[in-house]
Every structure is written in C-alpha cells, then in structure tokens.
C-alpha cells in the first residue's frame, strides 16, 4: 500500500465535497484524511485527500474521474516524497493535583510541541508534524499522563515544485486575499 496525496482545486460551491467523495466510494477507496479550505484565491477551494492504494494505475483513473467534475479546476496526485506535508494534533492531558508534573522543557525542545491552553486540571498541547512525529510524541505522553482527548487535523501539503499549484489553474482574472 502506497500513500497518495490528492490535491483538488475547485470553485467553492455547495455539494462539491459530496460529488468528489462519491468517486472514492464507487471505487471502494477509503479516505484516510481530508481537509478543505479556501485558497489565497477567492472562491477557489483546495481539498487535500490522503488515500492508501496498491495500484498507481487505479489512483490515476480516480484522479481523471475527479477531473471530470464540472467545478473542478485542477487535480494533482502526489507521492509522499513529492510534497512537504504536515498536520496538527491537539492533546488534552489530565494534570490532577499530585499527578506527575509536565516536563515542558522536553515537550518544547525535544518534541517541538507547545502547551496552548491551561485548564484547572488539564492542559492542551499542540503538536505539528508528520503522522510519524505526532505518534512519536503520543508514545512519549501516554505512559506518563492520561490523555483525555486526542485529535488530528488531517494532512495539508504543498508540492515541492518551484511554482505554487495555483499557477497551474486555468488563466482568469482571479481575485486574491491580501
């Protein structure tokens, strides 16, 4: 199984997420993670979809079928070594009175994670990194502290090409966010 990251640029319209995911469902491909947000261009959304698949051919067919959707401006499929990617994880960790103290220095310096919220008897730690780095940190935390809640954002990625992907979109008078 190889991990593929599929970046889809679309016009920002209702129901499009559905239209895109239907193609994965039809081909029985499970989505590992999916994030959607508007790009620096107004009205253009960017989907980052991570899947695992055995066959590159099949992934290419999937990409071509996504490209067929009327509102889709462009689709790019990547292997991990072709992109820079990260995700964010939040750890809600119990810090009861008398419990083990949090080693903030290790957390900061070794794991590049930050405490972003202090509650009365818990803290929230934010860790940015690859899936592996996040789980490395997870493995560090779990034996020492009770993890009350844990959530990952799903992958965001940019290509390693010189240009930004939006440069590949069809030419038009795009409006930008400043």
- Which residues of the shown chain bind another protein in the complex (CB under 8 A)? 10-11, 14-15, 18-19, 22, 26, 57, 60-61, 64-65, 67-68, 70-73, 170, 172
CB of 128 to another protein, least distance (A): 32
- Tell me whether residue 46 or residue 145 sits nearer to another protein (CB atom): 46
Q: Which is nearer to another protein, 73 or 107 (CB)?
A: 73
Q: For residues 108 and 87, what is the distance between their CA atoms, to the nearest angstrom?
A: 17
The least CB distance from residue 57 to another protein, in Å, is: 7
Contact (Cβ atoms closer than 8 angstroms) between residue 100 and residue 76 = no
Please count the other Cβ atoms lying within 10 Å of the Cβ belonging to residue 158: 14
| Cβ at position 86, least distance to another protein in Å | 28
Neighbours of 178 (CB within 10 A): 3
Nearer to another protein, 13 or 100 (CB): 13
Give the nearest distance from C-beta 103 to another protein in angstroms: 50
**DSSP-based three-state secondary structure for 45:** strand
Nearer to another protein among residue 5 and residue 10 (C-beta): 10
Cβ closer to another protein: 61 or 109?
Answer: 61
| C-beta of residue 84 within 8 angstroms of C-beta of residue 158 | yes
Distance (Å, whole) CA 144 – CA 96: 12
Specify whether the CB–CB gap between 158 and 78 falls below 8 A.
Answer: no
Give the H/E segment covering residue 18: helix 16-26
**Residue pointed to by tokens 């803290």:** 123
For the CB of residue 22, give the shortest distance to another protein in the complex, in Å.
5
């Amino acid at each position: 199984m190889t991990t593929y990251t599929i970046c889809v640029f679309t016009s920002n319209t209702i129901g499009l997420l559905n239209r895109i995911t239907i193609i994965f469902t039809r081909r029985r491909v499970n989505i590992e993670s999916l994030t959607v947000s508007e790009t620096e261009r107004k009205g253009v959304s960017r989907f980052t979809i991570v899947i695992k698949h055995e066959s590159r051919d099949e992934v290419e067919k999937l990409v071509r079928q996504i490209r067929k959707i009327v509102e889709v401006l462009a689709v790019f499929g990547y292997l991990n070594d072709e992109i820079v990617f990260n995700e964010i994880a939040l750890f809600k960790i119990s810090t009861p009175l008398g419990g083990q103290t949090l080693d903030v220095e290790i957390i900061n310096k070794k794991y590049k994670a930050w405490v972003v919220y202090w509650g009365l008897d818990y803290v929230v730690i934010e860790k940015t990194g690859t899936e592996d780095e996040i789980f490395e940190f997870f493995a560090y935390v779990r034996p020492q502290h009770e993890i009350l809640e844990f959530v990952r954002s799903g992958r965001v990625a940019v290509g390693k090409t010189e240009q930004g992907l939006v440069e590949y979109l069809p030419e038009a008078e795009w409006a930008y966010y400043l």
